[in-house]
Amino acid sequence: MEHPGKVLLSGIAAAGMAAIARSEYERRHFVTNRQIVSSPKIRRERNLVFLSDLHENVYPSGEPGQMDRLSQEIRGISPDAVLIGGDMIIMHPGRPCRSRRTLELLANLAGLCPVYYADGNHEDRLDQGIAPDGCFRDPFLREIARLGAVYLRDRSVNLFPDVRLSACTIPEQLYRCRFRLPVMEADYLEQRLGQAARDRYQILLMHSPQFFRNAAGWGADLTLSGHFHGGTIRIPGLGGLMTPQMQFFRPECAGRFTRDGKTMIVSRGLGTHSVNIRLNNRPELLWITLKPGREEEAARTGDGTARLRGARTR
Ligand SMILES: [Fe+2]
């Protein structure tokens, strides 16, 4: 008979290998989740795709000459606009920047619909790399403009006659808060963006979801965020295990939230970096449908976009 310690160790090793294999599978297979938001300010139905935290991941089709699966999926949705919430690239200070796959994705989307690109914390650091591989801020911005994307940094555009889109950067020190929650100054968004639209449906791209109180207070009808990669490992009933700032079980890791009639949707993101683990936390492409109608009820839901009304997973 085997020694009980040996049996235990073998069991732990087998569970560890199974977890690694599952994580590798999840990292290569994204899901599409559909969210429907409604407001009397919206005059006609439109479909948006929201991308966040690709971090240079790619989903090969497996067929020679075919576009990657993410590009195919977005093209299949045929959206009215693609909104990018940042961290598509990988940019660590003092290291080479990686942007090639992000630019390939933008090339695949060129001509499909308007594409708006906002910063995450990695794009914020575009000037801090060491190798000029076309990823420093000016060349990168020139390249995304050449591919037809509109770069939005602390400014607003009219996405449609009835919908305004704004994108706001977040000060680096607020990303760096570890083991504690960062606090954004009450008038920060107004200082950066001016007043929110009152007569149009106001969408705000803000990379970190930790400032929903500020976003709702400013007047964002819909805030779109990412950054937390779903919390790395999602535990049923508890949500995401940890954020990049080492906060544990933060409810904002993924999902849909409401506050004072305003909505925030947080993507689990499409890639990883540094901590390359995903368990019960598939990468996520968000398909958001804007519909004319009554506003949301003021309740908060913190988990599992796929389980919400109107959600679709595939
Ligand atoms: Fe991020």
The C-alpha atoms of residue 231 and residue 292 are separated, in whole angstroms, by 33
* Predicted local confidence at residue 10, as pLDDT: 87
Q: Where residue 170 falls among pLDDT bands split at 50, 70, 90?
A: very high
Taking the centre of ligand 1 as the mean of its atom positions, its distance from the CA of residue 106, in whole angstroms, is: 19
Residue 263 above 50 pLDDT? yes
Better pLDDT: 54 or 179: 54
Q: Where residue 296 falls among pLDDT bands split at 50, 70, 90?
A: low
Q: What average pLDDT does this structure show over 174-189? A: 89
Tokens found for residue 53: 């935290």
Taking the centre of ligand 1 as the mean of its atom positions, its distance from the CA of residue 7, in whole angstroms, is: 41
Taking the centre of ligand 1 as the mean of its atom positions, its distance from the CA of residue 199, in whole angstroms, is: 31
Taking the centre of ligand 1 as the mean of its atom positions, its distance from the CA of residue 149, in whole angstroms, is: 20
- Write 138-144 long-range contacts (CB < 8 A, 24+): 140/89, 140/97, 140/99, 143/99, 143/103, 144/103, 144/106, 144/117
Tokens found for residue 165: 């889109």
> In angstroms, how far apart are the furthest CA atoms of the chain?
76
Taking the centre of ligand 1 as the mean of its atom positions, its distance from the CA of residue 49, in whole angstroms, is: 18
253 φ, ψ (degrees, to nearest 5): -60, -30
Q: What average pLDDT does this structure show over 245-259? A: 91
Taking the centre of ligand 1 as the mean of its atom positions, its distance from the CA of residue 226, in whole angstroms, is: 7
Q: Where residue 306 falls among pLDDT bands split at 50, 70, 90?
A: very low
* Predicted local confidence at residue 110, as pLDDT: 95
Taking the centre of ligand 1 as the mean of its atom positions, its distance from the CA of residue 260, in whole angstroms, is: 26
Paired sense of beta strands 155-160 and 255-259, if any: unpaired
* Predicted local confidence at residue 130, as pLDDT: 59
Residue 217 vs residues 113, 153, 214: alpha-carbon distances, Å:
31, 20, 5
Taking the centre of ligand 1 as the mean of its atom positions, its distance from the CA of residue 80, in whole angstroms, is: 25
* Predicted local confidence at residue 1, as pLDDT: 65
Q: Which of 252, 276, 278 is nearest to 55 (CA)?
A: 276
Taking the centre of ligand 1 as the mean of its atom positions, its distance from the CA of residue 172, in whole angstroms, is: 11
* Predicted local confidence at residue 133, as pLDDT: 54
Burial of 83 (0-12, 13-18, 19+ CB in 10 A): buried
Taking the centre of ligand 1 as the mean of its atom positions, its distance from the CA of residue 90, in whole angstroms, is: 10
Residue 10 vs residues 4, 7, 13, 17: alpha-carbon distances, Å:
10, 5, 5, 11
Taking the centre of ligand 1 as the mean of its atom positions, its distance from the CA of residue 271, in whole angstroms, is: 10
Q: What torsion, rounded to 10 degrees, do the Cα atoms 212, 213, 216, 222 define?
A: 10
pLDDT in tens, 277-294: 999 999 999 999 999 998
Residue 299 above 80 pLDDT? no
Q: Where residue 127 falls among pLDDT bands split at 50, 70, 90?
A: confident
The C-alpha atoms of residue 273 and residue 187 are separated, in whole angstroms, by 32
Mean pLDDT of all residues in the chain? 89
Cβ atoms of 158 and 124 closer than 8 Å: no
pLDDT in tens, 131-153: 555 457 888 999 999 999 999 99
Taking the centre of ligand 1 as the mean of its atom positions, its distance from the CA of residue 43, in whole angstroms, is: 33
* Predicted local confidence at residue 231, as pLDDT: 94
Taking the centre of ligand 1 as the mean of its atom positions, its distance from the CA of residue 121, in whole angstroms, is: 5
Tokens found for residue 18: 């199974």
